[in-house]
Amino acid sequence: MTQFPSSFLWGAATSSFQIEGATTTDGRGPSIWETFCATPGKIADGTHGDIACDHYHLWEKDLDLLAWMGVKSYRFSIAWPRVMPTGRGAVNEAGLAFYSRLVDGLIARGIEPMVTLYHWDLPQALEDEGGWRVRSTVEAFVAYAEVVAKRLGDRVKYWVTHNEPWCIAHLGHGTGEQAPGEKNIGVSLRVAHHVMVSHGLAVPVIRANSPGAIVGIVLNLCPAHPASQSAADLEATRWFDGFFNRWYLDPIFGRGYPADKVADYQREGALPEGPLPFVEPGDMEAMAVPTDFLGINYYSRAIIRDDKAEGNLPAVVQSTGVATEMGWEVVPEALEKLLIDLRDEYGPKSILITENGAAYGTAPDGAGVIDDVERQAYFRGHIAAVGRARDAGVPVDGYFAWSLLDNFEWAFGYEKRFGLIWVDYETQERIPKQSAHLYRDIIAKAVAGEVAP
């Protein structure tokens, strides 16, 4: 049990496409996610984000819920096509005004806004020009970042450039599980590069327009543990760790791409022999731009066995232990170890847990109470793990629960519920789950200087 400092940034997180709805309102342009949702077979329950939690209209109610929980910060994302309907050029004032109102609403409630510029809803017009596969999208992102930072930078201090480059690259372009749905590992590596370069080039632009900005990137990290100590399992674990974690961490911390992974991808035919074709002069320096924090989204670990399950991917063995409804094993200790390992290996000056949470479908009982015991245990366990890592000297300065609301869980549609707050999608009623009450208590205790959780 730990005492968190009063400065610790307790928060909750969401993203634009998952909650806003109103995809054609007030001049918003189409994004790749509408296109993906309209493609038969892509979304498990055949749904879309057209209405979602209708947050675009119900935002004040949602901010009141944040205030009730006592969070100090709210991490939300900006829908690029709301601000620039075709991705570049013309700015849609109505879209910007929505986020400006949201920021003012947060500040009025004493909540620190944290803006994520890109949480996957790329304007479709940019995708039509090649999307993240082409260099011109890097420039478009930097121009978009400038527009947003100019408008909100007087009030927003915390900025995230990108959410989870691995998902953008690999799930979007490697396996095709997410928009835009391409299946080509070589392309996914080019995409990853462009996303990370655009991060690097956007950071100084944000700083120039937002005095005192605290800027970082958010990586989803999945610690890889070998299923056994056999040479084959250890080798498969190295492969997976490089593919998932080091490919992103290494360039951001100025080490360039990991040589072992470049060799893997060359051997497997995803990259040609010789210099990486997508790297231009100055790119590696841009990606390594100093930031103020490393954002980490942590959900689970992976146990790796040397089975070539799909393509060259080693098998991720599902543990026989406790798992959420995503099938993700619940291992708070792996978060503690991840944080300590990151400190030892990369030495980030500050870490924010920008997402952590669990999918469970627990619904209201006859009395309207949602006693989501598994989610409560998940939060308790993981917040305690963060506390232990802090006690061990890891500079973790904040924790954001995923998610404020049940919402559109990408390819899973509305089937998976991650919210602290239940959403009835028919009526748009919101009901705080027992986990929201727990989180509220944890924050209140921590802020009062008591030991939590």
**Residue selected from 164, 241, 292, 406 as contacting ligand FCB according to rule CB under 6 A:** 164
Q: Measured from the CB of residue 163, what is the shortest distance to ligand FCB in angstroms?
A: 5
Q: Measured from the CB of residue 357, what is the shortest distance to ligand FCB in angstroms?
A: 7
Q: Which is nearer to ligand FCB, 220 or 291 (CB)?
A: 220
CA gap 41, 411 in Å, rounded: 9
**Residue selected from 31, 209, 297, 362 as contacting ligand FCB according to rule CB under 6 A:** 297
User: What part of residues 329-388 is at the interface with ligand FCB (CB under 6 A)?
Assistant: 355
Pull the structure tokens for residue 86: 């075709």
Q: Which is nearer to ligand FCB, 27 or 413 (CB)?
A: 413
Q: Measured from the CB of residue 412, what is the shortest distance to ligand FCB in angstroms?
A: 8
Q: Measured from the CB of residue 281, what is the shortest distance to ligand FCB in angstroms?
A: 32
**Do 16 and 82 form a contact (C-beta atoms < 8 A)?**
yes
Burial class for 91, CB neighbours closer than 10 Å (0-12, 13-18, 19+): middle
Please calculate the CA angle 273-277-281 and round it to the nearest 5 degrees.
Answer: 125
Please calculate the CA angle 243-245-247 and round it to the nearest 5 degrees.
Answer: 60
Q: Can you list the alpha helix ranges (DSSP code H) found in 12-159? A: 16-19, 32-37, 55-69, 80-83, 93-108, 124-128, 136-152
Counting contacts by CB under 6 A, is residue 163 touching ligand FCB?
yes
Counting contacts by CB under 6 A, is residue 17 touching ligand FCB?
no
Q: Which is nearer to ligand FCB, 75 or 194 (CB)?
A: 75
345 as an active site residue: the answer is: no
- How many helices and strands, by DSSP H and E, does the chain display? 16, 13
Site track for ligand FCB across 203-222, x = CB under 6 A: -----------------x--
The interface region with ligand FCB, picked from 52-60, 68-76, 152-160, 162-170 by CB under 6 A, is 162-170
Q: Measured from the CB of residue 409, what is the shortest distance to ligand FCB in angstroms?
A: 6
User: What part of residues 220-239 is at the interface with ligand FCB (CB under 6 A)?
Assistant: 220
Counting contacts by CB under 6 A, is residue 240 touching ligand FCB?
no
Choose, from 112, 355, 374, 409, the residue flagged as catalytic: 355
**Residue selected from 132, 248, 410, 422 as contacting ligand FCB according to rule CB under 6 A:** 410
**Residue selected from 43, 147, 167, 394 as contacting ligand FCB according to rule CB under 6 A:** 167
Category of 235 on φ-ψ map: left (φ > 0), alpha (ψ -120 to 50) or beta? alpha
Size, binding site for ligand FCB by CB under 6 A: 12
Q: State the number of CA atoms in the 13 A half-sphere of 73 facing the CB.
A: 26
Nearest to 293 by CA among 216, 386, 211, 346: 216
**Residue selected from 15, 116, 245, 291 as contacting ligand FCB according to rule CB under 6 A:** 15
Counting contacts by CB under 6 A, is residue 418 touching ligand FCB?
yes
Q: Which is nearer to ligand FCB, 96 or 404 (CB)?
A: 404
Q: Can you list the alpha helix ranges (DSSP code H) found in 282-345? A: 283-287, 332-345
Pull the structure tokens for residue 199: 């991060």
CA gap 62, 14 in Å, rounded: 11
The interface region with ligand FCB, picked from 163-171, 180-188, 257-265, 305-313 by CB under 6 A, is 163-171
Q: Which is nearer to ligand FCB, 209 or 356 (CB)?
A: 356
Q: Which is nearer to ligand FCB, 4 or 244 (CB)?
A: 244
Counting contacts by CB under 6 A, is residue 141 touching ligand FCB?
no
* Neighbouring C-beta atoms of residue 156, cutoff 10 Å: 23
Any idea which residue has 């400190």 for tokens? 343
Any idea which residue has 């000056």 for tokens? 349
Q: Which is nearer to ligand FCB, 116 or 124 (CB)?
A: 116
Choose, from 164, 329, 374, 409, the residue flagged as catalytic: 164
CA gap 435, 439 in Å, rounded: 6
Q: Which is nearer to ligand FCB, 164 or 292 (CB)?
A: 164
112 as an active site residue: the answer is: no
Could you list the beta-strand ranges (E) of 169-320: 214-220, 224-226, 293-297, 302-310, 313-317
Q: Measured from the CB of residue 14, what is the shortest distance to ligand FCB in angstroms?
A: 8
Pull the structure tokens for residue 38: 């309209």
Residues found near ligand FCB in the complex (CB under 6 A): 15, 18, 163-164, 167, 220, 297, 355, 402, 409-410, 418
Active site residues: 164, 355
